[in-house]
Amino acid sequence: MKKCFQVLLVLLAGLPAMSQNTFQLAPPYIQFESAYFTKECRVSMVFDHPNTQIHYTTNGQIPTEKDPVYTRPILLKKRENVVKARVFGEGFVPSEVVEASFFKSGLSIENIVTTIPHKSYPGSGPKTLIDGLGGLEAFNRKTWAGFQTDTVILEISLAKPQKAKQVLLHVLENQSAWIYLPQKVELFTAKEGTGIWELVGQKILAPSEKKDKSKCNALSLNIKKPRKTDRMLVKIYPLVRIPDGLSGAGGHAWLFMDEVNLY
């Protein structure tokens, strides 16, 4: 037994020493109540490990050690904000980048009527899409409304006629749960004094590619010729057949939404 132990020591002595550089730091955790805000939003970050620092950006760039170090909550005020963060520490491989997007509320929406969500994911009813809550990736939260139909219709009423230039639909993509981006979105406004809907914007999305991570997305539709209106109609066409090679191939995709913003 003593001879075997001596042989083991010789073998171990021939191995290279383990270095901290072989270990990658875990990413930081971005904390916030909602991704949607009225005037300003404070975003916090958490990571607890000696001799490490969180570096972050708000300009969409990948954080480096030259970027600001997180020391206190970040104050956001712009219409659209992207926060990216990464942990650095001497002797360690930097963490993966984490990011979250935040949006300032736009025109006041008085009411919204929607296609009935699936009974398993009703959210809080139609008001789910205008309650200013959400932006979290967990699809089982009450902030998400889930649909599994060929067409989802949103009829939006404003408090008074206003000129809107852009519509943002906040949707989820989580392919492992068969939740995909829609294939097309159409936007209509009501002609003043009539019940006639006029197509004013359209977005056709590229076919889905395989993705491993869940992500919140903001789909932007620009209105071709903005005009004052107090009613809008949005038609969303979910993916009716998931392409081969993707999770749930051949099945009907889910559409998950948590907010609609008008600007």
CA-CA distances (angstroms) from residue 66 to 61, 69, 196? 12, 9, 55
Strand 98-104's sheet: what is its strand order?
36-37, 98-104, 80-89, 52-57
Instruction: Tell me what pLDDT residue 62 has.
Output: 98
Instruction: Tell me what pLDDT residue 21 has.
Output: 57
Domain range 20-103, CATH architecture? Sandwich (2.60)
CA-CA distances (angstroms) from residue 204 to 150, 173, 236, 243? 15, 16, 10, 16
Cα separation, 241 vs 248, in Å, equals 9
* Phi and psi, residue 97, nearest 5°: -85, 135
Question: Which residues are CB-neighbours of 170 under 8 A, at least 6 positions away?
Answer: 35, 36, 103, 134, 135, 216, 217, 218, 219, 257, 258, 259, 260, 261
pLDDT tens digits, the chain, 263 residues: what are they? Answer: 444 433 332 233 343 444 555 799 999 999 999 999 999 999 999 999 999 999 999 999 999 999 999 999 999 999 999 999 999 999 999 999 999 999 999 999 999 999 999 999 999 999 999 999 999 999 999 999 999 999 999 999 999 999 999 999 999 999 999 999 999 999 999 877 677 899 999 999 998 899 999 999 999 999 988 888 999 999 999 999 999 999 999 999 999 999 999 99
All CATH 2.60.40 domain ranges of the chain, comma separated, are 20-103
CA-CA distances (angstroms) from residue 85 to 74, 140, 147, 236? 12, 25, 32, 33
Strand 29-31's sheet: what is its strand order?
29-31, 41-46, 74-76
Q: Which pTM was predicted? A: 0.86
Instruction: Tell me what pLDDT residue 103 has.
Output: 97
All CATH 2.60.120.1190 domain ranges of the chain, comma separated, are 106-262
Q: What are the tokens at 28? A: 């930081």
Cα separation, 154 vs 176, in Å, equals 26
- Bridge pairing between strands 80-89 and 52-57: antiparallel
Longest dimension (CA), the chain: 97
Instruction: Tell me what pLDDT residue 22 has.
Output: 74
* 209 closest CA partner among 239, 237, 241, 246: 246
Instruction: Tell me what pLDDT residue 5 has.
Output: 34
106-262: CATH class: mainly beta
